[in-house]
Amino acid sequence: MCGIIGYKGARNANEVVLKGLKQLEYRGYDSWGIASLSDGINVVKKVGKISGVDDAGLGESRIAIGHTRWATHGGVTESNAHPHVSSDGKIAVIHNGIIENYYELRVFLRKEGFKFKSETDTEVIPCLVEYFMKNGSSFEDAFREMLLKLKGSYAIVAVNSDKDKMLVARKASPIVIGVGQDEFFVASDVPAFLEYTNKVIFIEDNDIVEINSKVEIENVVLGKKVDREIVEIDYDIDQAQKGKYEHFMLKEIYEQPDAIRETIRGRVNGARVEFEKFGLSDDYIAGVERVVIIACGTSWHAGIVGKFMIEALGKIPVEVDYSSEFRYRNPVIDDKTLVVAISQSGETADTLAAIKEAKSKGAKVLSVCNVMGSSVARESDETIYTRAGIEIGVASTKAFTSQLAVLYLFGVYVAQIRKTWDKDHLKERLEYLEKIPEQMEKVLKGDKEIIAAAEKHFLKKNALYLGRGTNYPVALEGALKLKEVSYIHAEGYPAAEMKHGPIALIDNKMPVVVVAVQDESYEKIKSNIEEIRARGGIVINVATEGDKKIKDISDIVLYVPETSGLAYPFLTVMPLQLLAYHIAKFRECDIDQPKNLAKSVTVE
Ligand code: F6R
């Protein structure tokens, strides 16, 4: 949440920062601001999006910092937008995270004569630096002393009108350094500077970085200078562009076949799954007594599908918990529990905290993550990367199906170690998986029917989504997608739960989207559909290609190719993603940047 970028080098820093902010806008988009150093600090702040801004009006500069905001403390106003500047106007700061003790710090600073211009937690940061400098500290020492006063999470970049440098600090909020030829970048995420360099330094919690003519890093907990490796990222800059698509969400839905191909590439060998490197030994996997999956949002839905996959293939009991609940409920886990943390961004605050909680109790943590070098990956004992490429649309799509692919592979991997199934069975499971990308392409060709369904129902106020077995989490995901991008109220349920309450809502204005493919629960779900029809509900069925009979009990049918029970979610989620997308489009919603949301939830 919130995108931050800083630049120091020979280019016009204001232009680099403005461009970088546009790349980061998916992290927060209620307001933006830039502070630029040339003859003092010049600041521009605006409410609204940065996408239409061609020139921030700041002229030329060699050092600048910028921020795109997702409000936490204080409303969406120009004065609350970052950068925040000290009372003497000499220090400017951008911040992502939450300063938990900001109120006490404000009280302290007020007593020292400071006046605040915003309602944010961030403004105490430049004021504290100014306070320590007034008491005789250098900019660098004052920055360190300021950090010692903060409680909470932060990625901070500070500049001083009298110095040709940027100071950076990190604690539980993402920030990376980009290293170019005699130029440096600092940003929440790599795409912000990928156009200029793919050489990146991932800094650690409690690192302080001084960016001058070189990058110097000190870790305050270790109390010494540290070397952090420069790594080359193989992101393709085109992935961060919309190309021929109107929205990132649509582009990313269409990228799913390739994302799955990439995610399974080199990992399937006949009846076997082989991960490129895997730090958890076979003995350890053989001895695991329980798996606990932790995640948030869409990744949590992937986790529920993963439960079906790992239990069916590896025959280990699996629980799925929200990271935010797990971290605070003193979970009963031990060294025989494998915790699987799923996170697209790898920066979700609750998931990170849940990983730390799991590790403190002796469990090993395996993460499923899309971002190399992210905090989740670094905190985990092992990571299996999804290879979905950069996901920019705030509503997650290709990350979800890529997570499913990793969980499916992991299920087979566990099965081969624990010998729960014979080779033929596992080979057959993997063949189903390998067919998925091609079958996804077929689903994408059915876009016309989905657009027609969207056009018919985009004015509805509510919707129900139902599914059974592996398709029950798909129903949850379909409802979440609709809520997020179209603002229509939608609920997802396991279909049999309908009778225990939601059935009260069904009438002739209520569309009910049912995943009714020909898997083990087909006959049961047909009875659920009859119950909806008996109450006048509008039934949109996602069904298996060739199932003509389903038309008799449907208002609309959206077909997907036939596959196995475990593999259906890859396919059945796609019409639901597209339905949400097209409904949102008919409603003229801001699809890639829905209101109140942001990609990468770095605050709890
Ligand atoms: C929904 C969505 C969110 C994320 C959730 C977890 O479309 O994107 O629900 O899935 O915030 O994010 P990650 O996977 O980055 O931990």
Say which DSSP state 472 is in: H
Do the beta carbons of residue 275 and residue 384 sit within 8 Å?
Answer: yes
Kindly give the pairing relationship between strand 382-385 and strand 489-494. Answer: unpaired
d(CA 41, CA 34): 10
CA-proximal residue: ligand 1, atom 9 (nearest)? 297
Q: Is the CB of 351 under 6 A from ligand 1?
A: yes
Which of these, 570, 579, 259, 238, lies nearest to 429 by C-alpha position?
A: 570
d(CA 354, CA 326): 6
pLDDT of the residue at 409? 98
Which amino acid is located at 534 in the chain? A
CA of 141 to the centre of ligand 1 (A): 38
Boundaries of every domain in the chain: 2-239, 244-441, 447-586
HSE-CB for 521 with a 13 A CA cutoff: 19
Question: Is residue 236 over pLDDT 90?
Answer: no
pLDDT of the residue at 52? 83
CA-proximal residue: ligand 1, atom 8 (nearest)? 396
Mean pLDDT calculated for residue range 116-122:
95
pLDDT of the residue at 28? 79
Which carries the bigger pLDDT value, residue 67 or residue 28?
A: 67
**Mind giving me the DSSP string for 291-357?**
EEEEE-HHHHHHHHHHHHHHHHHH---EEEEEHHHHTTS-----TTEEEEEEESSS--HHHHHHHHH
Q: Does domain 447-586 have CATH number 3.30.1180.20?
A: no
Question: Is residue 106 over pLDDT 80?
Answer: yes
CA of 388 to the centre of ligand 1 (A): 14
d(CA 587, CA 594): 12
Give the strand order in the sheet containing 199-202: 41-47, 31-37, 63-69, 3-8, 184-187, 176-179, 199-202, 231-232
d(CA 92, CA 537): 57
Structure tokens at 392: 């920019």
Question: Is residue 46 over pLDDT 90?
Answer: yes
Active-site position among 8, 307, 585, 599: 599
Say which DSSP state 420 is in: -
Chain segment 467-490, per-residue pLDDT in tens: 999 999 999 999 999 999 999 999
pLDDT > 90 fraction of the chain, expressed in percent and rounded: 87
Which amino acid is located at 569 in the chain? P
CA of 252 to the centre of ligand 1 (A): 15
CA-proximal residue: ligand 1, atom 7 (nearest)? 395
Which helix (DSSP H) or strand (DSSP E) does residue 514 occupy?
A: strand 511-515
Mean pLDDT calculated for residue range 223-239:
86
Question: Is residue 603 over pLDDT 90?
Answer: no
pTM: 0.88
Q: Is the CB of 397 under 6 A from ligand 1?
A: no
Q: Is the CB of 439 under 6 A from ligand 1?
A: no
Pocket residue to mutate for ligand 1, from 249, 253, 294, 296, most atoms within 8 A of Cβ: 296
Beta bridge partners of 544: 560
CA of 334 to the centre of ligand 1 (A): 27
Mean pLDDT calculated for residue range 157-184:
95
Quote the strand ranges of 172-282, DSSP E. Answer: 176-179, 184-187, 199-202, 207-211, 215-219, 224-226, 231-232, 268-269, 272-273
CA of 498 to the centre of ligand 1 (A): 26
- In the chain, % helix, strand, coil (3-state, to 5) comes to 40, 25, 40
Examine the residue annotation and report whether 2 is marked as an active-site residue of this protein. yes
Task: Please provide the average confidence, as pLDDT, over all residues in the chain.
Answer: 95
Best CATH choice for the domain 244-441 from the list 3.40.50.2020, 3.40.190.10, 3.40.50.300, 3.40.50.10490: 3.40.50.10490
d(CA 290, CA 334): 9
Question: Is residue 40 over pLDDT 80?
Answer: yes
Do the beta carbons of residue 603 and residue 72 sit within 8 Å?
Answer: yes
Task: Provide CB contacts within 8 A for 185, sequence distance 6+.
Answer: 5, 6, 7, 16, 20, 177, 178, 179, 192, 193, 196, 197
pLDDT of the residue at 51? 83
Chain segment 414-441, per-residue pLDDT in tens: 999 999 999 999 999 999 999 999 999 9
CA of 367 to the centre of ligand 1 (A): 14
CA of 322 to the centre of ligand 1 (A): 12
Chain segment 302-331, per-residue pLDDT in tens: 999 999 999 999 999 999 999 999 999 999
Q: Is the CB of 348 under 6 A from ligand 1?
A: yes
Q: Is the CB of 343 under 6 A from ligand 1?
A: yes
CA of 171 to the centre of ligand 1 (A): 21
Residues in the chain: 604
Chain segment 193-225, per-residue pLDDT in tens: 999 999 999 999 999 999 999 999 999 889 999
Q: Is the CB of 602 under 6 A from ligand 1?
A: no
d(CA 493, CA 475): 7
Question: Is residue 599 over pLDDT 80?
Answer: no
d(CA 237, CA 376): 23
pLDDT of the residue at 256? 98
pLDDT of the residue at 600? 75
Chain segment 336-372, per-residue pLDDT in tens: 999 999 999 999 999 999 999 999 999 999 999 999 8
Question: Is residue 538 over pLDDT 90?
Answer: yes
d(CA 90, CA 40): 7
Pocket residue to mutate for ligand 1, from 27, 323, 348, 383, most atoms within 8 A of Cβ: 348
Question: Is residue 239 over pLDDT 90?
Answer: no
The atom of ligand 1 lying closest to the CA of 397 is: 7
CA-proximal residue: ligand 1, atom 16 (nearest)? 343
Task: Provide CB contacts within 8 A for 98, sequence distance 6+.
Answer: 72, 73, 121, 152, 153, 154, 603
Q: How far apart are the first and last CA of the chain?
A: 11
Q: Is the CB of 297 under 6 A from ligand 1?
A: yes
pLDDT of the residue at 240? 77
Q: Is the CB of 323 under 6 A from ligand 1?
A: no
Q: Is the CB of 203 under 6 A from ligand 1?
A: no
Whether 447-586 and 244-441 are alike in CATH topology: the answer is yes
Query: Exposure pattern of 466-475 as b/e (b: 16+ CB <10 Å)?
Result: bbbbbbbbbb
CA of 41 to the centre of ligand 1 (A): 37
pLDDT of the residue at 26? 80
Q: Does domain 2-239 have CATH number 3.50.50.60?
A: no
pLDDT of the residue at 602? 76
d(CA 72, CA 96): 10
Q: Is the CB of 395 under 6 A from ligand 1?
A: yes
Do the beta carbons of residue 229 and residue 201 sit within 8 Å?
Answer: yes
The atom of ligand 1 lying closest to the CA of 395 is: 7
Pocket residue to mutate for ligand 1, from 26, 305, 345, most atoms within 8 A of Cβ: 345
